[in-house]
Structure 1
């Protein structure tokens, strides 16, 4: 990429989406011996999708909450990301993505300056962005939300917190192979 675009900086980013909904996320909790902790469980299948972008070297991140995971929403997320990460269009943004339908659809509109690098199938452990989701879900654990608006408000607060705490994000997505390659450090 650097040889193809010698006049531009090349940045390596990762992206993934997660479905989060009204069905509670149960986690272990401490309780006194002999006392069983209460747990809220119900089956509500309303959900939203969080699109997460992470920069492995710096920990910068961007999150969008959208109603679906499809080519149209992915195109919307990519356009928002490109405008935020490179408003002057002076960079090439290489984005590591998995092989989900929204990433491979023929109708997907990829903005100029963004290059999608698709990982081979069935290896989610190589996708740095997969490690964003435990950080996001932490704010939802052992909580019950009655509406998508309540859930979205909590998600928005958590995602904003993550964007402000780059060291937390870098610790999650900063895979060694994504932060150093060919003797260069990603910027």
Structure 2
């Protein structure tokens, strides 16, 4: 039995117009098939032209008669197994993962899927597969990622205050002689690179334990680096030691990279060679701003080192000290040649450029 199109609010031209506007390709095909039917075309031909059979076209005619154009969209799939955890239980799971476990309370130092599976069974009497637990965590916005070190003496309140008051701290680091000049924000740090290198994650078959070369010798060099995210530029030196003489050389190098007529506020940590009184020779176009103690996470230069290690300086064996120096130079110059990458890595929303 042939089902006739009974709705009359749209003619064939209107359906074609709607097909041109929709972003859903299946809906567009269904609209065009109905338009062909309204124009008097054979239903078999109309169905074949729009990539469906005659019975399917008949079903869409019924849907169109009942619900109009809205009825031509794919309905969300219904049914399926009910969620094993209630909304309240899922929220409790998020709390467990968010606050992280302790040995005293939870018996583990990090959550594994099997640990959470057992906790769910013990607390909610719900038996779940580990993969199901993983899917819930993914839906809650959690991901299995690496952590970064945090010093036990780090002061979270001081770190928040530093970010909140950053503009005022920058202004205080600008001497009267630099007032009225353009201000650049620079970030500085040092990284030790050597034969006791670092390893990084790689893609490998699930369940395998891939290997990577790592030297057991103890030669290294120090990569002194500083970046200005706003301009996408940097200044680096590879030196044999980290001391006041080395930082003075680096300050001079940074000074040459500051834009002509500008003044740079250089943020750096509280290492001893960064705070040596009269022995520290700070160029006239640079002012120093020190981070709170034990707060490397506030320094974007730390992320620069992470990027270089992940992409250029890990999983390697250096035969000589010269090889270490060469590798550092190549990695740093490669970064400097990509200003947008510097901006991407080192820009912080809370570190705003200020005018003097």
Pick the TM interval, shorter chain. Answer: 0.7 to 0.9
**Considering only aligned residues, what root-mean-square deviation do their CA atoms show, in Å?**
2.2
Q: Distance in 2 between matches of 1:24 and 1:125?
A: 21
Work out whether 1:100 is the aligned partner of 2:278. Answer: no
- For residue 19 of structure 1, the aligned residue among 181, 192, 195 is 192
Q: Does residue 127 of the first structure (1) align with residue 299 of the second (2)?
A: yes
Q: Cα offset for 1:37?
A: 2.6
Question: CA 1:109/1:11 → structure 2, altered by over 3 Å: closer, same or farther?
Answer: same
The answer on 1:50 being equivalent to 2:223 is yes
Of 134, 151, 173 in structure 1, the residue corresponding to residue 324 of structure 2 is: 151
Cα distance in 1 for partners of 2:303, 2:281 equals 26
Structure 2: how far apart are the matches of 1:120 and 1:91?
Answer: 26
In the superposition, the TM-score normalised over structure 2's length comes to 0.47
Could you say which residue in structure 1 is the equivalent of 2:342? 169
Q: State the 4+ residue runs in structure 1 displaced beyond 4 angstroms.
A: 33-36
Tell me which protein shows more helix as a share of its residues.
2
Structure 2: distance between partners of 1:143 and 1:127: 26
Structure 2 residue runs without a partner (length 5+): 1-170
> Separation in 1 of the partners of 2:186 and 2:268?
9
- Within 2, Cα distance between the matches of 1:121 and 1:96? 13
| Largest Rg, 1 or 2 | 2
Name the CA distance, whole Å, in 2 between partners of 1:33 and 1:134.
Answer: 25
Across the two proteins, how many residue pairs are aligned to each other?
181
Shift of 1:69: 0.9
What residue is the counterpart of 1:117 in the other structure? Answer: 289
CA spacing shift, 1:34–1:125, aligned 2, 3 Å = closer
Distance 2:308 2:209 in 1: 27
Cα deviations by residue, 1:25-46 (Å, 9 ceiling, x for unpaired): 2122333457543332332121
Greater relative CO, 1 or 2 (CA 8 Å, sep 6+): 1
Matches within 5 A, 1:51-66: 51-66=224-239
Residue 3 of structure 1 deviates from its aligned partner by 8.6
- TM, length-normalised to structure 1: 0.87
